[in-house]
């Protein structure tokens, strides 16, 4: 197990360094009421008092119920400033406008929400001289389980090297409430959605694969399929470089 006391000190120092280097006045992040954003919020608050968690419901009933309640509770416990910005109307209007020109796929429709949230985070960050903190963990990143130019976009990420298993251990060390730790991981993109059901593999299997390489053949095949299929998400866009310029 990691030394989470040391980890806390190192990550807080990292966040302070990033803020200072950028000449920023604070941090803003998406507070969805889940484990990852809870850890990011706690660490950022330790590093910078001017930390704001945005709660951004966007269509799913779950966003207005348990997600919002849990987000508000975790923010209150760790004294993190909170703002609620309802994006449901924007999503509906945007989908309607786009739908006049094309048949929107289910995947494209679902991914509008995280992209609208990132627009909102960056609008506030730009307006108040803040940095956007990312909330993706190592397990999600390896699987490509995030939205490109949505929740995958950020100015810095203090937990990108941590698996889901380690996120839980870290939260326990910081005395995070049980309702965050016991909650089924979900992006909250639609009602009843959970990460593990959507991927078809548990985070335990993913983490075992990442930490020790020990995983059964069936789960290993799923993990590798997701990883290979999402490689483009972990790279900057391909750009043309002429041979003449290269020479």
- CA nearest 180: which of 85, 66, 84? 66
Answer whether residue 245 is part of any domain: no
For 196-232, write each residue's pLDDT tens digit: 888 999 999 999 999 998 889 999 999 999 999 999 9
Residue 199 CB partners (closer than 8 Å, separation 6+): 143, 145, 222, 226
Answer whether residue 240 is part of any domain: no
Answer whether residue 75 is part of any domain: yes
Answer whether residue 242 is part of any domain: no
Query: How far is Cα 34 from Cα 71, in angstroms, rounded to an integer?
Result: 7
Answer whether residue 58 is part of any domain: yes
Answer whether residue 65 is part of any domain: yes
Answer whether residue 244 is part of any domain: no
Q: Which domain holds residue 198?
A: 4-232
Full-model pTM: 0.92
Query: How far is Cα 74 from Cα 31, in angstroms, rounded to an integer?
Result: 9
For 51-105, write each residue's pLDDT tens digit: 999 999 997 777 777 889 999 999 999 999 999 999 999 999 999 999 999 999 9
- CA nearest 235: which of 148, 156, 177? 148
- Domains in the chain, number: 1
Query: How far is Cα 57 from Cα 52, in angstroms, rounded to an integer?
Result: 16
CATH of the domain at 40: 3.40.50.620
Answer whether residue 120 is part of any domain: yes
**What would the DSSP string read from start to end of 31-48?**
--SSHHHHHHHHHHHHH-
Query: 101-139 in b/e burial notation, b at 16+ Cβ within 10 A?
Result: eeeeeeeebbbbbbbbbbebbbebbeeeebbbbbbbbbb
């Amino acid at each position: 197990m990691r030394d989470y006391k040391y980890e806390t000190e190192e990550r807080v120092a990292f966040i302070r360094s990033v803020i200072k280097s950028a000449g920023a006045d604070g941090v803003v992040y998406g507070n969805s009421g889940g484990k990852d954003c809870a850890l990011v919020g706690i660490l950022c608050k330790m590093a910078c008092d001017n930390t704001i968690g945005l709660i951004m419901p966007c269509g799913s009933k779950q966003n207005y119920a348990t997600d919002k309640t849990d987000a508000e509770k975790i923010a209150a416990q760790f004294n993190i400033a909170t703002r609620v910005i309802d994006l449901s109307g924007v999503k509906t209007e945007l989908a309607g406008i786009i739908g006049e020109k094309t048949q929107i796929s289910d995947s494209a429709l679902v991914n509008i929400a995280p992209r609208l949230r990132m627009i909102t985070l960056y609008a506030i960050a730009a307006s108040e001289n803040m940095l956007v903190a990312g909330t993706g963990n190592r397990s999600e990143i390896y699987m490509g389980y995030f939205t490109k130019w949505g929740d995958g976009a950020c100015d810095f990420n203090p937990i990108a090297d941590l698996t889901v298993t380690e996120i839980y251990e870290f939260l326990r060390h910081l005395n995070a409430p049980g309702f965050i730790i016991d909650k089924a991981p979900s992006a909250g993109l639609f009602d009843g959605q959970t990460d593990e059901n959507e991927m078809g593999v548990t985070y335990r299997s993913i983490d075992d694969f990442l930490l020790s390489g020990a995983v059964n053949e069936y789960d290993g095949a799923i993990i590798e399929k997701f990883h290979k299929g999402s490689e483009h998400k972990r790279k900057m866009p391909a750009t043309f470089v002429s041979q003449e310029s290269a020479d």
